[in-house]
Chains A and B, each alone.
Chain A
């Protein structure tokens, strides 16, 4: 088994000189996990707003350096200071997909411009026919075609189509790994499903692994193989997505699941959360504890007296 991505004891600390005095924020603390090349998977990161998910993603993309620990991609260390050739090779293998399809595109530029500049850069060619072929292939993978997209501006496409185009752009260099930070948070349920179904088919049909960052437990359950749950910079629970989400063990994971709004009682105005649950989850916040293995394969953070 060879590893695709290895995150080893990674921490990230930001120092902010703010109004409340100088402050350090431990955005990510001692995160470890790895993905293998043999089995493409959808690896989901879920957790609090501000719990370090985006920071972790940015470190994996080489946009931010870890304060401690290291991240290896195919055995090579990822850093902001990679040489240009090295960076290009790395970027063609690990591609980001951003949150808001409407903001990712400049309204005054035709969509194909994004695709063609990516193709030119990664295929290192300016041959029109080659570029067109690469664009069309990538668009076909997401259920579109160059014919449909050519000549159109972002406002002439729906949010779902734009998000598909953004994913197509990321697919041009044929990367084995996509990092999707909340790719569906801005779209309605119907589009959301078409995008997660697309991520699933990228995994199943093209062997692409996806790191899927989301707040949406339902789609996480629906498509993920493995999941990690983060609270205030720390992984508090990780394992097989179904196992963890069906029966979360850590107090924060339990609170997360209990906070998912259900439609079963539509119209009843149920918005209360069990305060005991909130207190219990808050009590764990910021505490180190340690991750222990459970029989069902998951790992859970436990604390001395807990």
Chain B
């Protein structure tokens, strides 16, 4: 085994997952995840960014072993190296997945209400999810849950509550509690703080970070909000039209991006105190049923040249630990200036 594989907990290789639909006899295929290769290391927070419908959620649904038809894995693999053994969730049986769920791999879905059953008290939901993986029962189980909730600054009372009786921020903490109570090695979270106010958002984020560091787990964190990635992630990966177009250490991604789309995402963030008109990206996200030839970003790319229309750029290392899929990566100018040096000379 190489050193590389020892450092990694998840290896995604050539993963393709498509929505295959049949509309009134017409076959339609939406290539939501189209040939993604990447790894996630032990004990890191890996942030995934991209615009709506770029395939972020579809991608992590595969990682979370939570896909349902019409979404299907059509090629590649997603292999975890858990303490209990390796598992390729793209091909594992439901029983094999059941054996790792919650205990090794947990998933915080978009919208906290989707895991919390509205007519079930929170305590019951904890039982449903965590009792079996934890192998505890009765008092021991309850004590464990109450202790875990207290770390999330939630009183034991919440176990008796129904979801609608809690505020948005409390519900979000409950969901994080559910996802972490079994001390999983790998946590996947999809937009866990969207629609929370900024005070609660920051609280929830630092909580996830704290728990991750305590347990030494890995976290894959999806959000379209770049300012969240700036403060949460160790590394950031950018998805565009079903493909990973750039990844690298957070600071480099913000201040020395090597893909025009990343540069745009980082620059489009408005700031308090700034009223200059910010141009939105021209054009619309590509249709994943019929994506553009060559580089999928070319119809909207300010740097596009003829070659981009026909030839797909490979994702290649362009700086230490940083990979980009762009023919002109050396011409990408960072659009934002850091407040301190970036630490790498491009």
A interface residues, Cβ below 8 angstroms from B: 16, 18-20, 47-51, 99, 102, 156-161, 182, 185-194, 197, 215, 217-219, 221-222, 245-246, 255-257, 259-273, 278, 281
Contact for A261 among B197, B198, B250, B251, CB less than 8 A? B198
A188 and B265 form a contact (CB under 8 A):
yes
Chain A's nearest CB lies how many Å from the CB of B29?
14
Q: What separation, in Å, do the CA atoms of A215 and B208 have in the docked complex?
A: 21
B156 interface residue (CB < 8 Å to A):
no
B268 and A190 form a contact (CB under 8 A):
yes
B292 interface residue (CB < 8 Å to A):
no
Contacts of B75 in A (CB 8 A): none
Additional pairs, 16, CB under 8 Å, beyond known A190-B281, A262-B231, A278-B199: A18-B165, A49-B169, A49-B197, A49-B200, A160-B284, A191-B52, A221-B272, A222-B274, A257-B272, A259-B199, A261-B228, A265-B340, A268-B231, A271-B231, A271-B232, A273-B199
Chain B's nearest CB lies how many Å from the CB of A267?
3
B37 interface residue (CB < 8 Å to A):
no
A–B complex contacts, Cβ < 8 Å, 17 sampled: A16-B165, A19-B161, A48-B200, A50-B168, A158-B284, A159-B53, A161-B284, A215-B196, A218-B270, A222-B270, A257-B272, A260-B227, A263-B269, A265-B339, A267-B249, A267-B250, A272-B206
Contacts of A20 in B (CB 8 A): 157, 161, 165
| A-contact 0/1 string along B215-237, CB 8 Å cutoff | 00000000011111111111000
Contact for B195 among A182, A197, A217, CB less than 8 A? A182
Contacts of A268 in B (CB 8 A): 231, 251
Contact A193 to B52, CB < 8 A, known contacts A215-B196, A259-B198, A259-B199: no
Nearest-CB residue, chain B, relative to A185: B195
Q: What separation, in Å, do the CA atoms of A232 and B131 have in the docked complex?
A: 36
Contact A262 to B227, CB < 8 A, known contacts A197-B277, A215-B195, A269-B209: yes
Contact for B226 among A158, A189, A270, A271, CB less than 8 A? A189
Chain B's nearest CB lies how many Å from the CB of A225?
12
Chain A's nearest CB lies how many Å from the CB of B212?
11
Closest 6 CB pairs of A and B: A267-B251, A194-B280, A188-B224, A267-B250, A266-B254, A266-B230
B8 interface residue (CB < 8 Å to A):
no
Contacts of A262 in B (CB 8 A): 227, 230-231, 271
Contacts of B53 in A (CB 8 A): 158-159
Q: What separation, in Å, do the CA atoms of A19 and B251 have in the docked complex?
A: 47
B201 interface residue (CB < 8 Å to A):
yes
Contact for B52 among A156, A158, A219, A256, CB less than 8 A? A158
Contacts of B269 in A (CB 8 A): 189, 218, 263
B52 and A259 form a contact (CB under 8 A):
no
Contact for B336 among A255, A260, A263, CB less than 8 A? A263
Contact A263 to B230, CB < 8 A, known contacts A160-B284, A193-B278: yes
Chain B's nearest CB lies how many Å from the CB of A149?
13
Q: What separation, in Å, do the CA atoms of A264 and B227 have in the docked complex?
A: 9
Nearest-CB residue, chain B, relative to A153: B23
Chain A's nearest CB lies how many Å from the CB of B208?
9
B291 interface residue (CB < 8 Å to A):
no
Contacts of A266 in B (CB 8 A): 229-231, 250-251, 253-255, 338
Chain B's nearest CB lies how many Å from the CB of A100?
9
Nearest-CB residue, chain B, relative to A264: B339
Contacts of B252 in A (CB 8 A): 267
B254 and A263 form a contact (CB under 8 A):
yes
Nearest-CB residue, chain A, relative to B266: A263
Contact for A197 among B165, B232, B250, B280, CB less than 8 A? B280
Nearest-CB residue, chain B, relative to A242: B275
B197 and A189 form a contact (CB under 8 A):
no
Nearest-CB residue, chain B, relative to A186: B194
Chain A's nearest CB lies how many Å from the CB of B73?
21
Chain A's nearest CB lies how many Å from the CB of B192?
14
B129 interface residue (CB < 8 Å to A):
no
Q: What separation, in Å, do the CA atoms of A12 and B292 have in the docked complex?
A: 52
Contacts of A48 in B (CB 8 A): 197, 199-200
Chain A's nearest CB lies how many Å from the CB of B246?
14
Contact A191 to B195, CB < 8 A, known contacts A222-B270, A261-B228, A267-B249: no
Q: Which of A49, A185, A192 has the most CB of B within 10 A?
A: A49
B202 interface residue (CB < 8 Å to A):
yes
B273 and A246 form a contact (CB under 8 A):
yes
B205 interface residue (CB < 8 Å to A):
yes
Contact for A19 among B162, B254, B279, CB less than 8 A? B162
Q: What separation, in Å, do the CA atoms of A268 and B249 have in the docked complex?
A: 11
Contact for A264 among B225, B285, B338, CB less than 8 A? B338
Contacts of B340 in A (CB 8 A): 265
B52 and A188 form a contact (CB under 8 A):
yes
Contacts of A218 in B (CB 8 A): 269-272, 274
Nearest-CB residue, chain A, relative to B213: A269
Chain B's nearest CB lies how many Å from the CB of A179?
17
| A-contact 0/1 string along B175-217, CB 8 Å cutoff | 0000000000000000000111111111101100100000000
Chain B's nearest CB lies how many Å from the CB of A23?
9
A189 and B268 form a contact (CB under 8 A):
yes
Contacts of A259 in B (CB 8 A): 198-199, 201-202
User: Which residues of chain B (242-259) have a CB below 8 Å from chain A?
Assistant: 249-255
Q: Which of B230, B255, B265, B338 has the most CB of A within 10 A?
A: B230
Q: Which of B226, B264, B265 has the most CB of A within 10 A?
A: B226
